Structure 1
Amino acid sequence: MTVEQRPHIVILADDLSGAAESAALFLDRDVSLGIDIGVLQSDSDVRVLDLGTRVLSGADAAARVQQTVRDLPSHIRVVKKVDSMLRGNVAAEVETLLEGGPVVFAAGLPALGRTVENGVPHIGGLPLHLSGRWALEKSQPPTSIADLFGHIPTVAVGLEADTRELTAAMNTGAVAVFDVRSDADLDAIVAMSAPIPGVRLVGTSALAAALARTLQPRTVSAVAVEPAPTLIVVGTAEPVAAQQVLELERYGATHVRIHIDDLLATEADPAAVRTAVDTGAAILTVTGPVDPDRSSAISGALADLVAEAVEGRTVGLVLTGGETARRVLDALSVTTLHPIAEVHHGAVVSRTAAGAYVATRPGSFGGPDSLVAMTAYLRGLDNTQSLSHSEALA
């Protein structure tokens, strides 16, 4: 492709693990690719930006989105990536996008059983608001997409519509909302939207995947990493994480538990973490009662502890939970990532400008062996081998 023919895509994510998840979808496409943290810096064909808006107020999130899209040239195709369980400031961010042009909203992630049916988001066949998956959120889950958007006008558009009908619906000033039951639905939505000038696509990483499928594929070779001791930082309270940690222990990783009160009082000892990392693979978790009001402070203190523990050392990092991942990389002054591989859906390995390896993953993703697989990749091991005292580091 000539320079003029290269795609120009910017994907805006609200946290780092979601940004990496979206970027990985373009690894097998004939494009240059980069993840920027905080502000756009790269000149890649596909740029994925972690805006860090998940933890902001609605007003601050909207302002950050507005500032970013305001400076983008008109030929840039904008995709707003949202959480597959619709957490965060989805409505505020979409309202800001709607002020600048037409918006299509398609929020399903069919690969993980997250769909939208008759305007109602579902997880594993259950309506989102009945699934219990918002138990750690400060607010209540939306009962429908219309409920999510509140005063923002929406219009339901069927998959049988064509571009002309979609354009007419959006000309009313409303967000065009689609049901999503399959990846084929998302392919149809992307195709229907493509001819509309200035349209912004809003959805999960599955919508970004549908856009990626419109681009020229390329052959991807396996990327070998230089094995290094690995620190797994579990910054999520998702129930699946407990089983994933148990599997890591079974495979030989050393577990360091830090109580929330000690962490916030800066009484946690980074030497204990460094010693655990010396065994080859270490898990760092936080114990104590989960309090959503303290989540930001906990993530910040955890990030500072990790940065102090790995300072001056070559350590691979596995980071679960978007806010934790972002805060750790901020503490390490990492501003760009180059994605190189996807271990499984959403589990993405990237390289920093300094050459270190970082694997990130949303907290709710992956089966019991997810963290084992991510750690094994960074260690250069087969999953069946012990993760500790490996000859790979000799």
Structure 2
Amino acid sequence: MSNAQRPHILILADDLSGAAETAAVFLDRDVSLGIDIGDVHGESDVRVVDLGTRVMSGAEAADRVLTSVRTLPTHVRVIKKIDSMLRGNIAAEVESLLATGPVVFAAGLPALGRTVEHGVPYIDGVPLNESGRWALETVDAPASIADLFGHVPTRPVALADGIDGLGAAVDSGAVAVFDVRSDADLDDIVGLSAQVPGIRLVGTSALAAAVARTLQPRTPGAAPINPVPTLVVVGTAEAVAVQQVSELERSGATHVRIHVDHLLAGTDPTPVRNAVDAGTALLTVAGPVDPARSSEISAALADLVARAIRDRTVGLVLTGGETARRVLDALGVNTLHPIAEIHHGAVVSRTAAGGYVATRPGSFGGPDSLVAMTAYLRGVDSTHSFSHSEALA
């Protein structure tokens, strides 16, 4: 394939674990691939950028997205990756995209039971706003996609309406919104959207996977790694993480619990360093966590990790997008090269310095998720966990 024929795809994510999750769907395609943090730092056929907009205000997030796309060459295909539970500044980001070209919105991650039917988002058949999965958010979950977008104009389009239906939505200036019940629906949406020049696609990693399926496949080789001591940092408040932490403890990890008050005061990193020396260290935050202080806590956790592993070769397992981003910022890492996916969303990447980082959204994975991720980095067990399920919060 000549350079002129190669795809040029830019994917904009709102947090780091989501960026890695999305990059992983291109691992078995014949493309070069990279993840950048903050801004585009490298060149490849597919570039995934963590803009960090999940923790910004709506206005800041919209500006970051607009700045990222308004000067792009017309041949670059843009995909805006969103959270599969519709958290973040989605309406503001999509409104800014709409100012640059037509937008198709197709939320849904069917492999994990997240669908949209008649404009209503569901998790395992339960409407999102009744699922309890937004319990840690400061606002209520949207009851519908129209509710999510508020004043931003939307227009439902059925796949049966074909290009005429999509064209009518685009011509009206509204966001074209599709239901998503299956990966086959996403394949059809991508095929239909390809007929509209300059269209921006907005959806979860499953929509990016549908784009990836249109590209030439390749057989990925096993990604050899040098086994390293591992530090697992659990920065998510998702209930599913409790069982995953217990399973990792049972596998022999040394658990270091830092009370949130001590963390914010600047705790001594020695216990974490000693735990890493034992082989596999697990770092969690104890005590009541005020959601309003989550960014402050993530920053303090990242500072502790950076001080604990300075001048050491350590494999990192980072759960939760904000925690992952903060840790890599503290370590001065701005580019990742994905090499393997342990299970859906659990992605191992290599840094420019040759280190390894495994990231995963906080709510993803079965009980053995952290065990499988640390085993891969330590070279203990080459068998990947194939659990694509999630425990309900």
- Tell me the SS of whatever aligns to 2:55: coil
After TM superposition, the runs of 4+ consecutive aligned structure 1 residues lying more than 2 A away are none
2:36 matches 1:29? no
Following the alignment from structure 2 to structure 1, what is the Cα–Cα distance between the partners of residues 357 and 161? 42
What does 1:158-307 align with in structure 2 at a 5 Å threshold? Answer: 158-266=158-266, 268-307=267-306
Following the alignment from structure 2 to structure 1, what is the Cα–Cα distance between the partners of residues 315 and 43? 27
Following the alignment from structure 1 to structure 2, what is the Cα–Cα distance between the partners of residues 341 and 153? 39
Which one-letter code corresponds to 1:72 in the other structure?
L
- Tell me the SS of whatever aligns to 1:160: helix
Following the alignment from structure 1 to structure 2, what is the Cα–Cα distance between the partners of residues 100 and 224? 42
Q: Report the counterpart of residue 388 of structure 1 in structure 2.
A: none
Deviations 1:302-321 (Å, cap 9, x if unpaired)? 00000000000000000000
- TM-score (norm. length: structure 1): 0.96
Q: In 1, are the aligned partners of 2:65 and 2:96 still within 8 Å (CA)?
A: yes
Following the alignment from structure 1 to structure 2, what is the Cα–Cα distance between the partners of residues 277 and 119? 48
Following the alignment from structure 2 to structure 1, what is the Cα–Cα distance between the partners of residues 121 and 180? 9
Following the alignment from structure 1 to structure 2, what is the Cα–Cα distance between the partners of residues 342 and 161? 36
Q: CA deviation at 1:165?
A: 2.5
Q: In 1, are the aligned partners of 2:105 and 2:201 still within 8 Å (CA)?
A: yes
Following the alignment from structure 1 to structure 2, what is the Cα–Cα distance between the partners of residues 72 and 310? 38
Following the alignment from structure 1 to structure 2, what is the Cα–Cα distance between the partners of residues 351 and 161? 44
Q: Report the counterpart of residue 348 of structure 1 in structure 2.
A: 347
Deviations 1:147-191 (Å, cap 9, x if unpaired)? 000001110000112223311211101000000010000000000
Deviations 1:347-367 (Å, cap 9, x if unpaired)? 000000000000000000000
Q: In 2, are the aligned partners of 1:234 and 1:320 still within 8 Å (CA)?
A: yes
Q: Report the counterpart of residue 321 of structure 1 in structure 2.
A: 320
- TM-score (norm. length: structure 2): 0.97
Following the alignment from structure 2 to structure 1, what is the Cα–Cα distance between the partners of residues 147 and 3? 43
Q: In 2, are the aligned partners of 1:372 and 1:383 still within 8 Å (CA)?
A: no
Q: Report the counterpart of residue 39 of structure 1 in structure 2.
A: 39
Q: In 1, are the aligned partners of 2:84 and 2:114 still within 8 Å (CA)?
A: yes
Q: CA deviation at 1:269?
A: 1.5
Following the alignment from structure 2 to structure 1, what is the Cα–Cα distance between the partners of residues 184 and 63? 34
- Tell me the SS of whatever aligns to 1:364: coil
- Tell me the SS of whatever aligns to 2:5: coil
Q: CA deviation at 1:383?
A: 7.4
Following the alignment from structure 2 to structure 1, what is the Cα–Cα distance between the partners of residues 382 and 254? 16
Q: Report the counterpart of residue 372 of structure 2 in structure 1.
A: 373
2:126 matches 1:126? yes
Q: In 2, are the aligned partners of 1:38 and 1:49 still within 8 Å (CA)?
A: yes
Q: Report the counterpart of residue 50 of structure 2 in structure 1.
A: 50
- Tell me the SS of whatever aligns to 1:343: strand
Following the alignment from structure 2 to structure 1, what is the Cα–Cα distance between the partners of residues 309 and 74? 42
Q: Report the counterpart of residue 387 of structure 2 in structure 1.
A: none
Q: In 2, are the aligned partners of 1:9 and 1:78 still within 8 Å (CA)?
A: yes
Which one-letter code corresponds to 2:88 in the other structure?
G
Following the alignment from structure 2 to structure 1, what is the Cα–Cα distance between the partners of residues 121 and 98? 21
- Give the CA RMSD over aligned residues: 0.8
Q: In 2, are the aligned partners of 1:107 and 1:180 still within 8 Å (CA)?
A: yes
Which one-letter code corresponds to 2:76 in the other structure?
I
Q: In 1, are the aligned partners of 2:256 and 2:281 still within 8 Å (CA)?
A: yes
Following the alignment from structure 2 to structure 1, what is the Cα–Cα distance between the partners of residues 165 and 110? 25
Deviations 1:184-226 (Å, cap 9, x if unpaired)? 0000000000021110000000000000000000011111210
Aligned length: 383
Q: In 2, are the aligned partners of 1:29 and 1:216 still within 8 Å (CA)?
A: yes
Greater shift, 163-172 or 209-218, is seen at 163-172
Which one-letter code corresponds to 1:7 in the other structure?
P
Q: In 2, are the aligned partners of 1:232 and 1:283 still within 8 Å (CA)?
A: yes
- Tell me the SS of whatever aligns to 2:165: helix
Q: CA deviation at 1:88?
A: 0.4
Q: CA deviation at 1:290?
A: 2.3
Following the alignment from structure 1 to structure 2, what is the Cα–Cα distance between the partners of residues 37 and 70? 19
Q: Which runs of 5+ in 1 are unaligned?
A: 385-394
Which one-letter code corresponds to 1:274 in the other structure?
R
Q: In 1, are the aligned partners of 2:158 and 2:165 still within 8 Å (CA)?
A: no
Which one-letter code corresponds to 2:134 in the other structure?
W
Following the alignment from structure 1 to structure 2, what is the Cα–Cα distance between the partners of residues 294 and 229? 31
- Tell me the SS of whatever aligns to 2:192: helix
Q: Which runs of 5+ in 2 are unaligned?
A: 384-393
Greater shift, 287-296 or 337-346, is seen at 287-296
Q: CA deviation at 1:70?
A: 1.3
Identity among equivalent positions (%) equals 75
